[in-house]
Every structure is written in C-alpha cells, then in structure tokens.
Amino acid sequence: MSTAFRLTGITATDHVFRVPLDHAAPEGEQIEVYAREVVASGREREDLPWLLFLQGGPGGKAGRPLGRDGWLTRALDDYRVLLLDQRGTGRSTPATRQTLARRGGPQQQADYLAHFRADSIVRDAELIRRTLLGQDRRWSLLGQSFGGFCTLTYLSLAPEGLREAFVTGGLAGLRSSAEDVYRAAYPRVARKNEEHYARFPQDVAAVRRIAAHLAERPAVLPDGGLLTVRAFQSLGLLLGAGTGSYTLHYLLEEAWVEGVDGPELSDAFLSGAQAQLSFAQGPLYAVLHESIYGQRSVDKGATNWAAERVRREFPEFDAERALAAPDQPVLFTGEMILPWMFETDPALRPLAETAQLLAERTDWPDLYDPERLAANQVPVVAAVYHDDMYVDTADSLATARAVRNVRTWVTNEWEHDGLRVSGGAVLDRLIRMARGEA
C-alpha cells in the first residue's frame, strides 16, 4: 500500500515492498524495502521515464527531500524518481545493534548480513522495477559512490532492466581487492592532509595539541563513546568533501575552553566530533564496509581488516611517531573502517563479534562480471572526480576502459559530494552527455 504527500514543488509517494532475504530462496524469509517516489508537482499523471537513485554507503539511506531541491531540481525536469532505502537502512527493515540482537548470536547475525551486499540490492531493485513498471519496461539509474558500485553489479546481473546509467564518483575497480583499495587510498588521504594544512597552517599546532592531550587522557563523548587519538584522526573522513576541510578547521577552532582545572576539550568540540564519528545513523557502513570489495575470484582470502593491515605500510599516519618529532603534522585518516571502532563507538560495540566474523569470511561471491561488462550495451556516463579521496581515480578510469559503452567526465571542479552540492549541475552535465549534447 502506498501513501502520497506534497512538499514544495514535488509530490512524494511512499512504497513498501516485500522481498526475499535471500533471492536464491524466494520462498524463504521476507524483509521490507522502502522507496519514495518523487515527481514534479503537476506532472503526477504524466507517463514519465523512471530514474532509480542508489545512495552511497554501504548502509546509507536515500536522502530525504525538502522539496524540489539539490540534484532533484534537474532530475525532475525529465524523470519520475525513486529514492531507494537500500535493504537494512532507513525505513527498510533495519539492521542495527537493536534489531540484529533479535536474530541470535554473532554467527546468526553475520549470516544474515551476508545478504546485504550489492548483489542483493540489485535483485531487490529488479523485483521493484517489475512491480512498478512491468516486466518489459526499463528504467534509468543514478548511482552515487557505492551506488555506482551497485550500478556495475546491475550491469553484470540484470542489464536488461536498464535503459541508461549515470554514475557519480562510483566506478569501482573490477579486480581490486580490499588491500589494493586501501594501498591506493592512504597516499590520496595524505595528499588531502597536505592540502588542508596548506590552507590552514595553524591547524598543525592545533591538531598536535589535541592529539597529545588525547594520548594522555582519551575523552568521553556525550553518547558514551571514547575519543582516542586514532578516533580523532578518523575525522579526516571529512577531507574528501568539497567543504570538508573548512568544516574540520571550524571544529578545531572551538576545541578548548578554560575549565576549573585549566584547559579542557569543550563540549561543543566533543559534540561536533561525535556527530562526525558516530555510526548510530548507519552502522552497516562500518559492519559491511570491507565486504563490498570481497570477490572470491579476485582474492580467495578474507578481507580481514585490510585497512588496518595496510596502514602499517604508511608510518606517516602514526600519531605517536608524529608527536615525537618537533612540528610534525599529525595526519588524519580517511574512509577506513578499523577494528578499534567497534570498541569506541556505542552503536558498534554489540556488533564487534559479528563484524569480526564478516571480516574472516572467505566465500564472498563475485559482484562484477568482466566479460558481460566488456560487452555492455547500456549507455553509461560517469563523473570521475580528479584525485577523489574515496574512490581511486586510476581504478575508475581502468573500469571505464574495461566496460563497453561508458563515457567519462573527469573533473576537478567538484569533490566526491559533487552530486549533492552542485544544485543539479553535475547531473545536468551527465544527462547532456547521454544525449550527445556535451
């Protein structure tokens, strides 16, 4: 059953679909997947082409529109848009510390979550397409970041469902293991640190002061989480967004207040750090993060906390080493999920054993079919962000060469969040490319 409501410039309709937990066992356990249909006001009855949006992540719910805003401004000129809460997120059957506890112990939870990768998301989408559009009508697809990874899986598993695909910051390496991904990522993150400190040289001393303090006395966050030096370094996740460096700088500016016993970290700083570091809004991002790179034909071993293992190859990220040298910048890390996060974050602590079992798993099915992609007939246009901190540009361009019918737009005008912050400009460029107008 669906319900509709109006916001400024749009009509939104809620949809809830029942899908199999395991699409290989369609008569088995069912879960719910939620999606919001959005159409421009006054065009509700028009036979518009559909555009499915797959959000970044993993574990990210679709954005909540406030009206005709952001990239929807451009999309709604031509499409009826479906914003999908990928399984386990948002209003779909949730997968969190609270709900997973009902499934039993860590092994039962890990077995359940093994069905929450891109292949299952694509099969959910195909079931939804057939329900909404009918068996033979195809839709367009917009994949942001991890949503782009899912797009490549869609083209591998069910290209017959797609008429065209737009990808923003999400052309994954088809044959890249988790280790490959992080080995390429740490140098990119180091460059983002260099850019930040060049922009705000005063932050070198500010970060060193905070790190030295936390090394002696880790701070308790308002939610009971623990701000250690390594947790503080992980604020570098911000540096891959267009305004992330500024956000980080302004957070550091308010780090200290004068308390009864002298300088102490301010409540404003601790609250701001918690807002960036807590996984309460999206625990699957942490629990499933490295599994999105698991493919048994690429690496027969487990992902096994690849980001933590590879970090040892880059001693410049060692805060203790940096603090031991005069004026040495303490480097922030980036989009790395590390095992200690399941100790410091209250939203993740109950899932530590589950995450460990997923990290040890060695039988992840392949997500991409290189041969099928090499023969792809679906038009694909992709924005590739120059020196993207989250998705390796070299991997993206190699994939663009390996997948037939792909056109790329390589740009340094936007960072990884270009789709969200460009007011529709990024999507407009891709649509014009698909039509041969750019």
Give the DSSP per-residue string, 153-180. HHHHH-GGGEEEEEEES----TT--HHH
Rounded Cα distance, 64 and 58, in Å? 17
Structure tokens at 18: 């029942």
Rounded Cα distance, 300 and 285, in Å? 23
Q: Which amino acid is at 28?
A: G
Cα three-residue angle 392-397-403, rounded to 5 degrees: 125
For the chain, which residues make up each domain, given as ranges?
3-174+368-434, 178-360
The band of 1, judged by pLDDT with boundaries at 50, 70 and 90, is low
Phi, psi of 303 (to 5 degrees): -65, -40
Rounded Cα distance, 75 and 142, in Å? 10
Rounded Cα distance, 50 and 254, in Å? 46
Query: Dihedral angle at the C-alpha atoms of 245, 180, 363, 174, nearest 10 degrees?
Result: 90
pTM for the model: 0.96
Residue 15 annotated as catalytic: no
Average pLDDT over residues 334-352: 97
Rounded Cα distance, 59 and 2, in Å? 24
Which of 145, 156, 177, 396 is the catalytic position?
Answer: 145
pLDDT tens digits, one per residue of 61-87: 999 999 999 999 999 999 999 999 999
Which of 289, 416, 422, 428 is the catalytic position?
Answer: 416
pLDDT at 44: 94
Average pLDDT over residues 326-355: 97
pLDDT tens digits, one per residue of 156-206: 999 999 999 999 999 999 999 999 999 999 999 999 999 999 999 999 999
pLDDT tens digits, one per residue of 344-365: 999 999 999 999 999 999 999 9
Side-chain half-sphere CA neighbours of 256 within 13 A: 11
- Give the number of other CB atoms < 10 A from CB of residue 57: 24
pLDDT(2) > 80:
no
Rounded Cα distance, 170 and 367, in Å? 14
pLDDT at 36: 97
pLDDT at 435: 95
Residue 41 annotated as catalytic: no
pLDDT at 300: 92
- Give the number of other CB atoms < 10 A from CB of residue 2: 11
Average pLDDT over residues 408-430: 96
More confident residue, 1 or 209: 209
The residues near 243 (Cβ < 8 Å, ≥ 6 apart) are: 421
The band of 438, judged by pLDDT with boundaries at 50, 70 and 90, is confident
Average pLDDT over residues 376-399: 97
Average pLDDT over residues 40-45: 96
The band of 4, judged by pLDDT with boundaries at 50, 70 and 90, is confident
Rounded Cα distance, 155 and 157, in Å? 6
Rounded Cα distance, 438 and 434, in Å? 8
Q: Which CATH class is domain 3-174+368-434?
A: alpha beta
pLDDT at 383: 98
Structure tokens at 273: 């750090």
pLDDT at 118: 98
Residue 145 annotated as catalytic: yes
pLDDT(306) > 70:
yes
In the predicted model, what is the mean pLDDT of the chain? Answer: 97
